Amino acid sequence: MSTASAPVLNPKVRTITGFVQFNGDLTQVTNTLTVLRKAKTEFESSGYEVETLRVTTNPFPDYVNGMPVDKALALLKQLDDLSVQEGCTVNIGTAMLNDSDDPSFMPLLQQALSTLPHIEASAIIADANGIHWKTIALSADLVKYVSEHSPGGLGNMRFAVSAMQDEYSPFFPGSYFNDEGEQFGIGIECASAVNDILIKDKGNYVGAIPDLTAALTQQMAIPNAVSRKVEQETSWNGGAEATTASHGGISIASAVEAYTGEKFGSPGTLTALLLIANVVGPGLMPGVMEDKLLAQRWAEGAYTMDSLFAYSAVGMAGLDTVPLPGDVTLGQLKRIFSDVALLATKCNLPISARLIPAPGKIAGDMTDFGGTDLFNTIVHRLS
């Protein structure tokens, strides 16, 4: 008597993100959501769960330029309120694309992230033209201010610095564009497929590469087809990208541990992450406090900030949701961001950083980010 094999589950659609040139007219955002909901319907009719809809605008200095601070904050609040009304997340782009940009928009963003609970944003600290030293210093000021003025310091969850980052990434908070709107990006959560292959090909780098490539190709086939269909029906341009991020789901850390047979952070971790990055690309972005097993290994000291820099050098996309002592200094923040920028330009890789100082916590304390999707872990001393 034959036994039916278990059904292959479709990967979750982590996000469908639309990119819109915004000039202050909120209907531009709602019209974008009409396109995204068409894509959502296509996925759901094919048996996929869609987690979030997101909208990224052109850099917000474009549409608040010349406004008094109170008027600019009022417009950003309209976007924040709209995100709640429409059940989406809004990213207002990057505050600074170039080091020569007007620095006054960074203090404005400080206030927005400290008082508005939903909008997300970023700053570019390096690109093909070099390192943005002024932006690095201003970003350190922002993170320090937001840690002290937003509820629980959690405004920093919605801000990232990015170096060598491509436009039109569907993943927040580093998503941005500065060219044309009417585009969309689809993020497909492929952590389960990665986990299955690394369990199957434990320690076999040569065999795992084609197996993982085949698995990801299969996982992305229908999402790519849906993307093409939405393009034809809307005249918007788009595409799908894989990601290993997984809120409360399959842990990429467990995939690495299955491959190495050791704790995440042990010898072999770098090799496993390179293997994954070679296939997944920039969607390899494990978050220290967004992955339960990663948070546990961080608490145990199995890996450190230095480890994250090493992993970023082989294709992991950066330092994500890293807890820091609440009394972290501006100098320490600037040095971390400058290291990110230098590594990204040296390796010609997209690397970002989302740092979360924990208010009132010192080295050895457990974080206390209650009421969030974060997994609490130990705060370590910055060496």
Q: Residue 32 sits in which domain range?
A: 9-383
187 phi and psi angles, rounded to 5 deg: -105, 120
Residue 190 domain-assigned (yes or no):
yes
Arithmetic mean of pLDDT, 89-103:
98
Residue 235 within a domain: yes
Residue 83 lies in a domain: yes
Average pLDDT, stretch 98-126? 98
List pLDDT tens digits, range 53-69: 999 999 999 999 999 99
Kindly tell me the sign of the dihedral angle through the C-alpha atoms of 367, 370, 372, 376. Answer: positive
- 250 within a domain of the structure (yes/no): yes
Distances (CA, A) of 370 to 33, 215, 367, 374, 375: 31, 36, 9, 8, 9
SS3 label, residue 252: helix
pLDDT of the residue at 3: 40
Domain count, the chain: 1
φ/ψ of residue 89, rounded to 5: -120, 135
- In this prediction, what percent of the chain has a pLDDT beyond 90? 91
In a domain, 4, yes or no: no
Beta strand extents in the chain (DSSP E only): 12-20, 50-57, 89-94, 120-127, 130-131, 159-163, 183-189, 237-243, 318-325, 351-358
SS3 338: helix
Q: Looking at residue 23, which CATH number applies to its domain? A: 3.20.70.20
Residues 6+ away with beta carbon under 8 Å from 306: none
Q: Is residue 1 situated within a structural domain? A: no
Say yes or no to pLDDT of 1 above 50.
Answer: no
3 within domain boundaries: no
Helices then strands, each counted (H, E), the chain:
12, 10
Q: Give the residue-averaged pLDDT of 131-149.
A: 98
User: 379 pLDDT band (50/70/90 cuts)?
Assistant: very high
Q: Does residue 2 form part of some domain? A: no
pTM: 0.94
DSSP state of 379: -
Q: What is the mean pLDDT of the chain?
A: 94
At residue 13, the pLDDT reads: 96
